[in-house]
Amino acid sequence: MTTLLAFLFVLGVLIFVHELGHFLAARRLGVRVLTFSLGFGPKLLKVKRGDTEYCISAVPLGGYVKMAGENPDDPRTGKPDEFMSRTKWERFQILIMGPAMNVLLAVVVMAVVLAQGAEVPIYQDQPPVVGAVQPGSPAERAGIVRGDRILTIDDDAVDTWEDLFIAVGTRPSRDVQLTLLRDGQTQAMTVRTVAETRYEVGNIGVLPDINPIVASVIAGQAAERAGLRAGDVVLAVDGERMVTRSQFIDAISRNGGREIELTIRRGGSGEGDGDLMRIRATPEQQGNRGMLGLYVSEPTKSFTPGPFEAVQLSVERNIEFSGLIFRTLGGLFVGETSPRQLMGPVAIAQLSGESAQAGWISLFTLMASISLNLGLLNLLPIPVLDGGHILIMALEGIARRDFSIAVKEKMLLAGFVLLMMLMVTVIYNDLTRISWIERLMPWRN
pLDDT digits (tens, 9 = 90+) for 319-376: 888 887 787 777 767 666 666 666 666 666 667 777 777 777 888 888 898 899 889 8
The per-residue pLDDT for 263 is 94
Contact at 8 Å (CB) between 94 and 31?
yes
What is the phi/psi pair of residue 159, to 5°? -90, -20
**Rounded to an integer, what distance in angstroms lies between the CA atom of residue 29 and that of residue 93?**
9
Among left, alpha and beta (phi > 0; psi -120 to 50; other), residue 274 is left
Q: Indicate the average pLDDT of the chain.
A: 85
* CA torsion, ordered 253, 257, 263, 267, to nearest 10 deg: 90
**Rounded to an integer, what distance in angstroms lies between the CA atom of residue 170 and that of residue 339?**
11
CATH domain 213-298 topology: Pdz3 Domain (2.30.42)
Mean pLDDT in residue range 372-391? 87
pTM of the model: 0.71
406 vs 163, more confident: 163
What is the phi/psi pair of residue 351, to 5°? -65, -35
The per-residue pLDDT for 437 is 59
Whats the size of the chain, residue-wise? 445
Task: Write down the catalytic residue from 19, 70, 82, 200.
Answer: 19
What is the phi/psi pair of residue 154, to 5°? 50, 45
- When pLDDT is cut at 50, 70 and 90, the band that residue 7 belongs to is confident
The per-residue pLDDT for 2 is 72
Mean pLDDT in residue range 312-325? 85
- Among 233, 228, 230, 263, smallest CA distance to 245 is for 233
> Exposed, middle or buried: residue 77 (CB in 10 Å: 0-12, 13-18, 19+)?
exposed
Q: Residue 157 pLDDT more than 70?
A: yes
- When pLDDT is cut at 50, 70 and 90, the band that residue 288 belongs to is confident
Q: Looking at residue 402, what DSSP letter applies?
A: P
The per-residue pLDDT for 421 is 77
Domain at 132-207: CATH architecture: Roll (2.30)
* Residues paired with 187 in a beta bridge: 180
Q: Residue 384 pLDDT more than 90?
A: no
- For the ranges 250-254, 376-380, 403-407, the lowest mean pLDDT is seen at 403-407
- For the ranges 67-81, 295-309, 388-402, 416-430, the lowest mean pLDDT is seen at 416-430
- When pLDDT is cut at 50, 70 and 90, the band that residue 299 belongs to is confident
Contact at 8 Å (CB) between 330 and 154?
no
Active site residue 19: yes
Question: CA distances (Å), 267 to each of 60, 207, 230, 271, 432, in order?
Answer: 55, 24, 10, 10, 48
The per-residue pLDDT for 172 is 85
- For the ranges 97-106, 212-221, 395-404, 425-434, the lowest mean pLDDT is seen at 425-434
Q: Contacts for 319-324 with beta carbons within 8 Å, 24 or more apart?
A: 321/369, 321/372, 322/372, 322/376, 324/166, 324/170
Which residues does 56 contact at the CB level (< 8 Å), separation at least 6? Answer: 37, 38, 39, 43, 44, 45, 46
Within the chain, which residue ranges are assigned CATH 2.30.42.10? 132-207, 213-298
pLDDT above 90 covers what percent of the chain? Answer: 36
